Amino acid sequence: MVTRAETPRRKDYFLSVPASLRCFVNIATSSVYGKYATDDEETPPKPTSYYGVTKLAAEQLVLGRQREEGFPACSLRIFSVIGPRERPEKLYPLLMQSILKDTPSPLFEGSLKHARSYTYVGDIVAGFLAVLTRPERAVGEIFNIGSTKMITTGEGIAIVENILGQKAQFDIQPKRAGDQLQTQANIEKARRILGYEPQTSLEDGLVAEAAWYLERIHGRDL
C-alpha cells in the first residue's frame, strides 16, 4: 500500500511581523454585505459580486491570522468614495468627462434608482487616522467607514449637472450583475470606539471633485 507522508504544519507562510507594527489595516468594502448594505458589522455578509466575495476573503484571511496568532489587524469596510483623484472609470469622473465633452456617459439600466452613501475621500482618510491614533481599540475589529447620508444615483447626477451647468447624456448599458441596490453606512460602532464622524456633504464633495477635474484632468484626458 502506498501511503502519503504527513506534511508538517508550517508556521512560516507569512512574513515575520515587525515588533513596531501596532495595527495592520485591511481595506474591505460595503460590497461584502450584498445588495443591501445598511446594517452593522454583526450582519452576516452576503456578497453578490465577485468583487465583494474576494474582498470578504481577504478580510477573513487577515482576521483569521489575528484570531489564531494575535496578528495586530483590523478591517475597514469602505463605502462608495468620491472626491479628487477618484478612479476614472467610476460614475462621477465618467459623468464629468461626458458633460464637458458633450458626449453620452455609460449608465447601467435601473441604476438611477440605486441609493448610495457616497463618502468624501477626506472622511474616509479620517477613518484611517482614527484607527492609527487608537490602534489598541481597533485590533481584531471590523468597522464600517462611510457617510450615513443616502442619495440616489439620479440625485447625484443632478448635483453634478447643476455644478457644471449642463445636462448629461446617457448611453444605457444592460443591468450589471451583482450590483448593490442600497447602501447606507451604519457607523455606530466606529463612532463609539473610534470617535469617527464624517463631516463633508455629498454636494461639497462633488464641488471639490469637479474643481479638481477641471484643473487637473479636463483637456488633458485622452
Domain boundaries, the chain: 24-217
| Residue 26: strand pairing partners | 75
C-alpha cell at 216: 487637473
Q: How confident is the model at residue 18 (pLDDT cuts 50, 70, 90)?
A: confident
108 close to 89: Cβ distance less than 8 angstroms:
no
Nearest Cα to 147, choosing from 78, 65, 51?
Answer: 78
What mean pLDDT comes out for the span 39-53?
96
Query: What pLDDT score does 185 carry?
Result: 97
219 close to 180: Cβ distance less than 8 angstroms:
no
Q: Could you tell me which residues come within 8 angstroms of residue 42 by beta carbon, excluding any fewer than 6 positions away?
A: none
Phi and psi angles of residue 62, each rounded to the nearest 5 degrees, phi first: -65, -50
pTM of the model: 0.88
147-172 burial by CB neighbour count: b if 16+ within 10 A, else e?
Answer: bbebbebeebbebbeebbeeebeeee
Give the residue numbers marked as catalytic. 51
- Per-residue pLDDT at 189 exceeds 70: yes
- Per-residue pLDDT at 198 exceeds 60: yes
Q: How confident is the model at residue 176 (pLDDT cuts 50, 70, 90)?
A: confident
What mean pLDDT comes out for the span 148-177?
94
List, for residues 106-121, the tens digit of each pLDDT value: 999 999 999 999 999 9
Separation CA 183–CA 37 (nearest Å): 4
Q: Could you tell me which residues come within 8 angstroms of residue 210 by beta carbon, excluding any fewer than 6 positions away?
A: 96, 160, 163, 164
Separation CA 71–CA 42 (nearest Å): 21
Q: How confident is the model at residue 222 (pLDDT cuts 50, 70, 90)?
A: very low
Beta pairing, strands 115-116 & 151-152: antiparallel
What mean pLDDT comes out for the span 198-222?
90
Three-state DSSP state, 168 = coil
Q: Could you tell me which residues come within 8 angstroms of residue 174 by beta carbon, excluding any fewer than 6 positions away?
A: 108, 109
Q: How confident is the model at residue 212 (pLDDT cuts 50, 70, 90)?
A: very high
- Per-residue pLDDT at 13 exceeds 90: no
Q: How many residues does the chain have?
A: 222
Percent of the chain predicted with pLDDT > 90: 86
CATH number of 24-217: 3.40.50.720
